[in-house]
Amino acid sequence: MNKNHIAADKPSIFLVGGTGAGKTELALNLSVYYSNLFGSSNLLDLDIVNPYFRVRQFVDDIVQKNINVICPEPRVRFGDVPALPSAAWGALESHEESVICDVGGGEPGLRLLGRLKEIADKRKSSVYFVLNPFRPDYIDIKHIEEEFRHTCDLCKLDVTEIIANPNLSDYTTVEDFERGLDIIRGLSETTKVPIGFCSAPEKAAKELGADVGAIPGFCEYKGMKMFIIERYWSVPWHFGVVSA
Amino acid sequence: MAKVLMKGNEALGEAAILAGCRYYFGYPITPQSELPAYLAKRLPQVDGVFVQAESEVSAINMVYGAASAGARVMTSSSSPGISLKQEGISYIAGAELPCLIVNVMRGGPGLGNINPSQSDYWQATRGGGHGDYRTLVMAPNSVQEMADFTLAAFEYADRFRNPVLMLSDGVLGQMMEPVVMPSPKDYDIDSKKWALGYTGKDKTARNLCTSIFMGQEELEEHNWSLYQKYQVITDFFKANKELAVEEYLCDDAEIILVGYGIISRILKTVVEKCRKRGIKAGLVRPKVLWPFPSEIISKLADKASKFLVVEMSYGQMVEDVKLAVEGKKPVYFFGRTGGAVPSDFEILNEVDKIVRPD
């Protein structure tokens, strides 16, 4: 078997971007997608700072989907310490499996990537800048571009594509999505970094009129690739009131 | 500001700025650290002051200082850090100083863990520190309310010259929801005629903000005055029921679920599911925990036949509900601790056991 061919097909992906961009949700879904495609995949939890809503919370659920979750060992998994799993290097070096890296934790998390640069470059990794323009820091395109440049500087990796993830959680309207997508197109034009794909949960994608297929999976949306995701953050207050 | 996606901690920080707060003193602790991180960035942009103190004890005493000068000021922490602040909170309450103290609760006792909890109810509503005093305690249940209640909290603090405690939890602090920021509020520092440095137009004598009253008669008089103020606060929320409590489908309810904060969101789901199954359930959600809305719950006990209190603790608010119900109807309890957030399914099972014991 041609090892280079395997390496080309089984990607190494780093998801970077600000808090609330949707990196973890995307990482979970991309891992499932590549596991369905190749029989298994590695999901690397590089969120060393945030206390809640991390990949490691889903270890028991997604291990059944043939996903090898690489995160700190159980006794420190929910500790308030910035622990990096030792198995991370092995997963990135092996080339035998696809590996999706969820790089959370803001600036400290991004700085961590500098240490992985050599290994990431060697494997010709894809670096996705995940962007949700509805975060409070993104007052205008100038602020978004600053955040983009800052992210690139900190992580020492070249961002290969922008992933458009415009959302207001489960309350996103079609108008919100389109408005957000326009803002992200603006960043792509300014930075000359292409939009790899946009992303939406199944319900929102149907409302947008996308031709939804397998979940998670890709479909077409207005000449752009759209990645349909499943929401893993299920909360027990479906009926709970949000007054906004 | 247009609708944006924010963490509860961030929304509270932005709302504090809109409320005119320009001073924050605190110390990091999970799961509230996004709040000081947000204000460390934002306050200098609005000519405000952010100080990461060397400890929680220092921070609360810096709050004492700024509040004495009449400024709108706040601090925040999570459970163990709030324990450390108790001496200062007692001093602030004794000196009748307005400020906002935020507790994003985590699991305890002791160092516990970083997961969400509601086990600081007693600490918040019973004072926490020493002496005869009360803090007004507010309990938001969404990211939007983290913002809205913050503006209200600064208003109440000034109005009653009393510290206000925002009792949030790890879920509310960390979760993201869309939020529309409330309109900014101005406040008139010159209206605080009690503040240090206030001289007024006629250059009156210097003020003193203190909690020390050396003479027995002097302290008794001061404590009596505090007691009367607490009665005024209690009467205010009795007269403005909608500010104190949310009632949902209580009119014909045979069982009333009681919960605050994030639990109330889950209980609303449970009420809906109960109704679909033919169980007449309702919800009471205290938005203000001290003064506790006892009168409203007491009136509901004349109609409903059972109460179920749900908390992320082994049962703290349930004692206030029992006092309010006055033995008229049975009060049941269901709680989870250690960071567990009870599911709607678990609570529905409890309702079933109570309503359909066979």
C-alpha distances out from residue A214 to A36, A123, B264, B266, Å: 11, 29, 36, 31
pLDDT in tens, chain A (244 residues): 333 333 346 899 999 998 889 998 999 999 999 999 999 999 988 877 666 667 766 767 776 778 888 887 777 767 666 777 888 888 888 888 899 998 876 777 788 788 888 888 888 899 999 999 999 888 889 999 999 999 999 888 899 999 999 999 888 999 999 999 999 999 999 999 999 999 999 999 999 999 898 889 999 999 999 999 988 766 666 544 433 3
Helix (H), strand (E) at residue B86: helix B86-94
Q: What is the pLDDT of residue B200?
A: 62
Higher pLDDT pick, A85 / B119:
B119
Chain B interface residues facing chain A, Cβ-Cβ under 8 Å? 1, 3-7, 10, 14, 30-31, 113-115, 141-145, 148, 170-171, 174-180, 262, 265-266, 268-269, 271-272, 339, 341-345
C-alpha distances out from residue A123 to A9, A45, B194, B211, B274, Å: 12, 18, 67, 66, 54
Q: Find the residue in B nearest to A105 (Cα).
A: B34
Identify the sign of the CA torsion B101, B139, B311, B37: negative
Q: Find the residue in A nearest to B14 (Cα).
A: A136
Q: Where are the domains of chain A?
A: 3-229
Residue B235 predicted with pLDDT over 50: yes
* Tens of pLDDT, residues B7-19: 999 999 999 999 9
Instruction: Evaluate whether the domain defined by A3-229 bears CATH number 3.40.50.300.
Output: yes
Taking alpha carbons only, the member of B291, B167, B156, B286 closest to residue B230 is: B291
3-state secondary structure chain A: CCHHHHHHHCCEEEEECCCCCCHHHHHHHHHHHHHHHHCCEEEEECCCCCCCCCHHHHHHHHHHHCEEEECCCHHHHCCCCCCCCCHHHHHHHHCCCCEEEECCCHHHHHHHHHHHHHHHHHCCCEEEEEECCCCCCCCCHHHHHHHHHHHHHHHCCCCCEEEECCCECECCCHHHHHHHHHHHHHHHHHHCCCEEEEEEEHHHHHHHCCCCCCCCEEEEECCEEEEEECCCCCCCCCCCCCCC
Residue B353 predicted with pLDDT over 70: yes
Question: Torsion angle of alpha carbons A68, A73, A77, A81, nearest 10°?
Answer: -120
The answer to whether the beta carbons of residues B150 and B166 sit under 8 Å apart is yes
- CB nearest B265 (choices: A53, A80, A237): A237
Taking alpha carbons only, the member of B76, B72, B63 closest to residue B11 is: B76
Question: Cβ of A51 and B141 within 8 Å?
Answer: no
Question: Cβ of B30 and A132 within 8 Å?
Answer: no
- Determine the distance in angstroms separating the CA of A49 from the nearest CA of chain B, rounded to an integer: 10
Identify the band that residue B29 occupies on the pLDDT scale cut at 50, 70 and 90.
Answer: very high
Q: What is the pLDDT of residue A7?
A: 39
Average pLDDT over residues B22-46: 96
Q: What is the pLDDT of residue A1?
A: 31
Does ipTM exceed 0.90? Answer: no
Q: What residues of chain A, 56 to 75, have a C-beta less than 8 Å from chain B? A: none
Only one residue has tokens 């957000």, namely A180
Q: How many CB pairs under 8 A join A and B?
A: 96
Most A CBs within 10 Å, among B176, B266, B271, B341, to test the A interface: B176
DSSP β-ladder status, A217-221 and A224-229: antiparallel
Q: Find the residue in B nearest to A171 (Cα).
A: B178
Q: What is the pLDDT of residue A10?
A: 86
Q: What is the pLDDT of residue B316?
A: 98
> Two tokens at B65?
């200082």
Q: What is the pLDDT of residue B203?
A: 63
Q: What's chain B's average pLDDT?
A: 95
3-state secondary structure B164-183: EEEEEEHHHHHCEEEECCCC
Question: Which backbone phi and psi does A10 adopt, to 5 degrees?
Answer: -100, 100
- Cβ neighbours of A168 (radius 10 Å): 21
Domains of chain B: residue spans and CATH? 4-191 (3.40.50.970), 246-355 (3.40.50.920)
Higher pLDDT pick, B63 / A106:
B63
Q: What is the pLDDT of residue B307?
A: 98
Give the angle A62-B334-B352 at the CA atoms, nearest 5°.
85
> Two tokens at B312?
């992320």
- Determine the distance in angstroms separating the CA of A243 from the nearest CA of chain B, rounded to an integer: 7
A3 at B interface, C-beta within 8 A:
no
Question: Which backbone phi and psi does B277 adopt, to 5 degrees?
Answer: -95, 5
The answer to whether the beta carbons of residues A244 and B179 sit under 8 Å apart is yes
Question: Cβ of B265 and A134 within 8 Å?
Answer: no
Taking alpha carbons only, the member of A128, A157, A176 closest to residue B5 is: A176
Which positions in chain A touch B10 (Cβ < 8 Å)? 136
A20 at B interface, C-beta within 8 A:
yes
Which positions in chain B touch A175 (Cβ < 8 Å)? none
Question: Cβ of B30 and A51 within 8 Å?
Answer: yes
* Tens of pLDDT, residues B188-217: 877 888 998 776 666 667 789 999 999 999
Q: What is the pLDDT of residue A20?
A: 86
| Helix pair B262-276, B344-355: axis angle to 10 deg | 50
> Two tokens at B188?
């008139």
